[in-house]
Amino acid sequence: MGKIIDLFNGTTLPQQKKRQVLKLDAEYEEVQAQNQVLKSENLKLQADVNPLRRTIEEMEQKIAQLTASAENALTFNQSTGTYIDPKTGIHFCTKCLSADKRSPLRNGNHGWRCMVCNADYFDPARPEPPIRMGYEPLA
């Protein structure tokens, strides 16, 4: 405010005009002070936003990973002891999956066989024929 008053010393402006200019000068300084406060708050908010942006990027990556793993997910079938791909219906070896191998099973007469570890899995929906006593097929 002192700068404006110094400009008026020795001028012939009417007193009312001087008051108006001084009032505008005071308002301008108040706006400048508010502007500085807002700039400071803006910098603080920007500092708060940057870690949040990194968190969002990390979460988006996790979502993409989970979506990809869900697409490759297998469902455990308790009655057969195998894992099944719900999209294709293919059965996979439980033993191989525990060793991080995804081995599809070969379909047989009474269940499935793993061609990697030779594990057999029987299908209760395809029971073996009963063994007849006294039956000798090669005799």
The percent of residues above 70 in pLDDT, for the chain, comes to: 81
Domain map of the chain by residue range? Answer: 2-70, 74-122
Torsion sign, CA atoms 91, 97, 102, 107 = negative
- Which two tokens mark 138? 């090669």
Whole-number Å distance between alpha carbons of 117 and 122:
15
* pLDDT for 1: 45
Q: Specify the residue for token string 């200019």.
A: 21
Pairing of strands 105-107, 91-92: unpaired
- pTM for the whole thing? 0.47
The CA distance from 42 to 38, in Å, is 6
> 81 pLDDT band (50/70/90 cuts)?
very high
The Cα 99–Cα 117 span in angstroms is 11
* Residues 37-59 as b or e (16 or more Cβ within 10 Å = b): eeeeeeeeeeeeeeeeeeeeeee
User: Given this model, what pLDDT does residue 24 score?
Assistant: 87
